[in-house]
């Protein structure tokens, strides 16, 4: 079956530091890949997505590239802000063999001044 | 305002007492799903629905039931709750399929004593 593996948190960074959160996946077929963000006390919201190999998703300064050869979708941001503190979830979805969504375990990011 | 609503937001109950968590969306979405979020396990999909009267199991369906009698509503039913169902539950919807952007509700925190 499908699976998503994310780096464990929490990740603590100083403001303006570079961020990388690793995500690798196992899937049959050609899944779509997502990063969702969960701010404290809220539901998840889409941060970015990529639907095919070599696609780059980007939003609010965050980027992730769909790498089929390494089955990865790492999240990066060049300069984090305190307001980026949240839990980040990598996820994949495929319409082949069902219409399920599979999430990683989430990575908590804390950004300090 | 486009949104997914869940009720109740918080619920404390006792083992074996049947309960229903409601979910409603106003975006005319076809795809709806339920997740539970547990520390260290991320989000796991319980059930999903592709359309009215069409539902299917996710990764952790045991102990849960769902129904989709109307397009906008997708209630989650726990016929005989047990303490291991204590969790944070999210409902989500998307336009058509799992690979579309998911819109999440605010969450329901359930405690089963």
By Cβ distance, the residue of B40, B45, B90 closest to A44 is B90
Q: How many helices (H) and strands (E) does chain A have?
A: 0, 12
Cross-strand bridge partners of residue B79: none
**CA closest to A10 among chain B residues:** B40
pLDDT at B34 over 80: yes
> Is residue B60 a contact partner of residue B11, using CB atoms and an 8 Å limit?
no
Residues whose CB is less than 8 angstroms from the CB of residue B53 and which lie 6 or more positions away in sequence, other chains included: B68, B69
Which of B42, B50, B96 is the best mutation test for A, with the most CBs of A within 10 A? B42
Cross-strand bridge partners of residue A36: A46, A89
Give residue A13's pLDDT. Answer: 97
**CA closest to A90 among chain B residues:** B42
In chain A, what residues touch B30 (CB-CB under 8 Å)? Answer: none
pLDDT at A8 over 90: no
> Is residue A97 a contact partner of residue A112, using CB atoms and an 8 Å limit?
no
Give the residue, A2 or A80, on which the prediction is more confident. Answer: A80
Give per-residue pLDDT as tens, B38-81. 998 999 999 999 999 999 999 999 999 999 999 999 999 999 99
Please give the mean pLDDT across all residues of chain A: 93
Please give the mean pLDDT across all residues of chain B: 95
**CA closest to A4 among chain B residues:** B42
CA distance B99 to A9: 26
Inter-CA distances, B102 with A87, B35, B93, B99, Å: 17, 12, 5, 8
Give per-residue pLDDT as tens, A55-102. 999 999 999 999 999 999 999 999 999 999 999 999 999 877 677 889
Q: Is A48 on the interface with B (CB under 8 A)?
A: no
**Phi-psi region for residue B6, left (φ > 0), alpha (ψ -120 to 50) or beta?**
beta
Give residue B98's pLDDT. Answer: 82
Give residue B60's pLDDT. Answer: 95
Give the residue, B22 or A1, on which the prediction is more confident. Answer: B22
**Gap from B18 CA to chain A (nearest CA, Å):** 25
CA nearest neighbour of B105 among B50, B37, B58? B37
In chain A, what residues touch B41 (CB-CB under 8 Å)? Answer: 105
CA distance A8 to B54: 36
Instruction: Determine how many CB atoms are found less than 10 A away from the CB of residue B33.
Output: 27
Inter-CA distances, B72 with A49, B65, B97, Å: 25, 17, 15
Q: What is the mean pLDDT of residues A34-49?
A: 94
CB contact under 8 A, B104 and A44: yes
pLDDT at B95 over 80: yes
pLDDT at A46 over 80: yes
**CA closest to A32 among chain B residues:** B99
């Amino acid at each position: 079956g499908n699976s998503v593996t994310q780096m464990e948190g929490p990740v603590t960074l100083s403001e303006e530091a570079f961020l990388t959160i690793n995500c690798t996946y196992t899937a049959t077929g050609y899944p779509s890949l997502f990063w969702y963000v969960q701010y404290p006390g809220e539901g998840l919201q889409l941060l970015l997505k990529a639907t095919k190999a070599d696609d780059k998703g980007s939003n609010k300064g965050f980027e992730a590239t769909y790498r089929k050869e390494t089955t990865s979708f790492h999240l990066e941001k060049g300069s984090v802000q305190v307001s980026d503190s949240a839990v980040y979830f990598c996820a994949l979805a495929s319409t082949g063999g069902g219409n399920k969504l599979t999430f990683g375990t989430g990575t908590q990011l804390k950004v300090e001044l | 305002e486009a949104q997914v609503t869940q009720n109740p937001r918080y619920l404390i109950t006792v083992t074996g007492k049947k309960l229903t968590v409601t979910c409603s969306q106003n975006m005319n979405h076809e795809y709806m799903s339920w997740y539970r979020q547990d520390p260290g396990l991320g989000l796991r999909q319980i059930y999903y629905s592709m359309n009215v009267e069409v539902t299917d199991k996710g990764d952790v369906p045991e102990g849960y039931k769902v129904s989709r009698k109307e397009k906008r509503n997708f209630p989650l039913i726990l016929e005989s709750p047990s303490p291991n169902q204590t969790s944070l539950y999210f409902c989500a919807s998307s336009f058509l399929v799992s690979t579309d952007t998911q819109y999440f509700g605010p969450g329901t925190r359930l405690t089963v004593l």
